[in-house]
Amino acid sequence: MAIPRYLIAACVGATALVCASAAANAQTFGFAAMQPGTINHTTSSAISKVLKEKGGINALVQATAGESVMIAIVGRGEADFAMANAPELGIALANNGQPDIRIIGPIYTLKTGFWVRKDSNMRTVADLRGKRVTMGYSAMRALEPMSRAILATGGLTESDIKPVLVPNVVRSADDFVGGAADMFMFAFGAPKVREVDVTVGGTRFLEVPESPGIAAARKISPYGYLTNVEPGPIFVGVEKPMQVYTIDNILFTHAKVPDDVVYKVIETMEANKAEMIAVAPNLREFSAAGLNRRYDFPFHPGALKYFKDKNVEAKAFP
């Protein structure tokens, strides 16, 4: 008995869809990250693991020197995903500098600032006057203005400290341990922070003074805000409840990454949050609803479709 042509066409179409799906699943998506020991690398590993094991998206973590490098790599399409802080993306996207970058949204907050030795007499940012402070951050360009912004919370400028030039936060920590700097800059939750704390016999996190505080910082970098922290396992060196300098860390991709892949990335992360937290506890802050924030950055169409389908409204910047 002859098979009707419409059935043949349907079978061919179905086979094509299966093949296309298999090809997508077989494709490897590069996930650019910072160096091992950073919260960025830990979080990127957690997300990639879930995407591969739960979403069928073969994501491979690729370590790089810093966020400026990651943005450039994704911008050229040499990697498909990465995370960078809002100020870093703001610098990169200014004046159409990275026309193919598309954001998916904020994944978690980076509570960051300066640590000193616990046996020092320094307790607030203002106490860094005349001290050796890591600056520059050639591989993480946004950290230079961010460092100046945090210094400004204590009424300090670069002329009030002794700059120690470093390419990234890992070198900042290493120079501090080696005695070349009186402080180091990092984000809470990174394994490197705990490592440094143990190595030097204890650290103290410098509090942001109420005056001049965040108002002075925002004149230098508009993306920062203050959040509350208390002493705890993640907040190494925090001796009492205090406010710390905070920025959003944003997941981004390339314009040519298919819409359905980006959509599935969000779905998979939302459905498997517990598995991600098991690897990176800071991802407790993640929610698909929190991705849609009113940044002046271009969103990927796949993310916008998810927001529309799930009625996720845009939230104002803090």
Examine the pLDDT at 16 and tell me if it is beyond 60. no
Neighbouring C-beta atoms of residue 163, cutoff 10 Å:
15
Decide if 44 contacts 74 (C-beta within 8 A): no
Which one is predicted more confidently, 123 or 1?
A: 123
Backbone angles phi, psi at 135, to 5 degrees: -145, 180
pLDDT tens digits for range 244-273: 999 999 999 999 999 999 999 999 999 999
Q: What is the CATH number of domain 110-247?
A: 3.40.190.10
Is the distance from CB of 61 to CB of 44 less than 8 angstroms? yes
Mean pLDDT for 91-104 is: 93
pTM of the model: 0.77
Query: Does 110-247 match 27-109+249-309 at the fold level?
Result: yes
The per-residue pLDDT for 26 is 63
In this model, does residue 3 exceed pLDDT 60? Answer: no
Range 230-238, long-range pairs (CB < 8 A, 24+ positions): 234/188, 234/189, 234/281, 234/282, 235/111, 235/188, 235/205, 236/115, 236/188, 236/193, 236/194, 236/197, 236/203, 236/205, 237/115, 237/118, 237/193, 237/197, 237/202, 237/203, 237/204, 237/205, 238/205
Please name the residues in contact with 258: beta carbons below 8 A apart, sequence gap of 6 or more. 24, 302
pLDDT tens digits, one per residue of 134-189: 999 988 888 899 999 999 999 999 999 999 999 999 999 999 999 999 999 999 98
- Confidence class of residue 318 from pLDDT cuts 50, 70 and 90? low
> Tokens in use for 268?
């998979």
Sequence ranges of the domains in the chain: 27-109+249-309, 110-247
Confidence of residue 25 (pLDDT cuts 50, 70, 90): low
CATH of 27-109+249-309, one of 3.30.540.10, 1.10.3720.10, 2.60.40.10, 3.40.190.10: 3.40.190.10
Alpha carbons within 13 angstroms on the beta-carbon side of residue 275 total 16
- Cα-based angle 254, 143, 116 (whole degrees, multiple of 5): 140
